[in-house]
């Protein structure tokens, strides 16, 4: 009996020693650096970011078929998926619009901004052996302060023209970005890099719409 118990403990010990090592990942984005001050800069808050409930977890989730997903216990996000998405889009907007005053909602307590960009990820299909497909809805929404200034402009000729040019021609704007991004290689590193590039393209599309609608000075 003693031998049996000892053997059992030995087996459990060996199994514990052979457990896979957990790897952690984060999407890559360029740091938001101070841009040269050329006149008045628009201030943006990116987020909150909404994601499918199946992906709202520390583990990385991939698509393994048309209806099946896999939750990878030993491949996890270093932070949060929401935070990474917000950071990638924030960084891209800062580059495209030439401003350093872009904040990620999940990582900032900034209270003063001109526009808030709401991001709703409808679908994020990823595979560590395939590619990435995104379906993202987004809304560019003037801040309450910005809307109040615009209303004051309409009712009084004496109101200072502060942030007047920050109001989009058509008010709040909505859009949809569907992006397909191939992987350069295989494995989780390549997949997360492809996700980073895909969300950067979403940021590019938001910036183009933002500029086209006259939302910046």
Q: Write the DSSP string, 151-204.
A: HHHHH-TTS--TTGGGS-TTSSEEEEEEEEEE-SSSSHHHHHHHHHHHHHHHHH
pLDDT score recorded for residue 144: 66
pLDDT score recorded for residue 123: 93
Q: Which CATH class is domain 40-212?
A: alpha beta
For 172-201, the pLDDT digits (tens) are 899 999 999 999 888 999 999 999 999 999
Residue 123: name the closest of 203, 192, 63 by CA.
Answer: 63
46 exposed, middle or buried (CB, 10 Å; 0-12, 13-18, 19+)? Answer: buried
Number of H helices, E strands in the chain: 4, 8
Does residue 9 surpass a pLDDT of 60? Answer: no
CB-based contact 69:186 (threshold 8 Å) = no
Tokens of 99: 């401003």
Residue 136: name the closest of 30, 62, 51, 197 by CA.
Answer: 51
pTM passes above 0.75: yes
- What mean pLDDT is predicted for residues 18-31? 85
Q: Residue 30, SS3?
A: coil
DSSP 39: S
Centre a 10 Å sphere on the Cβ of residue 96 and count the other Cβ atoms it contains.
18
pLDDT score recorded for residue 127: 83
Sheet holding 59-63, edge to edge: 23-25, 69-77, 59-63
For 111-154, the pLDDT digits (tens) are 789 999 999 999 999 987 788 999 999 999 998 655 544 554 44
- What mean pLDDT is predicted for residues 15-23? 74
pLDDT score recorded for residue 85: 97
């Amino acid at each position: 009996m003693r031998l049996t118990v000892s053997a059992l403990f030995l087996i459990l010990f060996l199994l514990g020693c052979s457990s896979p090592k957990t790897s952690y990942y984060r999407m890559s984005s360029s740091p938001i650096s101070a841009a040269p001050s050329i006149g008045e800069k628009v201030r943006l808050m990116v987020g909150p970011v909404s994601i499918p409930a199946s992906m709202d977890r520390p583990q990385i989730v991939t698509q393994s078929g048309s209806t099946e997903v896999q939750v990878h216990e030993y491949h996890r996000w270093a932070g949060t998926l929401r935070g990474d998405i917000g950071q990638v889009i924030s960084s891209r907007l800062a580059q495209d619009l030439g401003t350093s005053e872009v904040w990620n909602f999940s990582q900032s307590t900034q209270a003063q901004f001109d526009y808030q960009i709401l991001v709703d990820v409808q679908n994020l299909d990823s595979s560590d052996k395939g590619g990435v497909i995104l379906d993202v809805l987004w809304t560019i929404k003037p801040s309450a302060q910005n809307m109040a200034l615009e209303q004051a402009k309409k009712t009084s000729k004496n109101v200072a023209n502060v942030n007047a040019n920050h109001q989009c021609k058509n008010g709040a704007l909505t859009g949809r970005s569907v992006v397909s991004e191939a992987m350069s290689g295989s494995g989780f590193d390549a997949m997360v890099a492809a996700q980073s590039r895909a969300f950067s393209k979403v940021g590019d599309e938001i910036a183009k719409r933002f500029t086209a609608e006259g939302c910046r000075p």
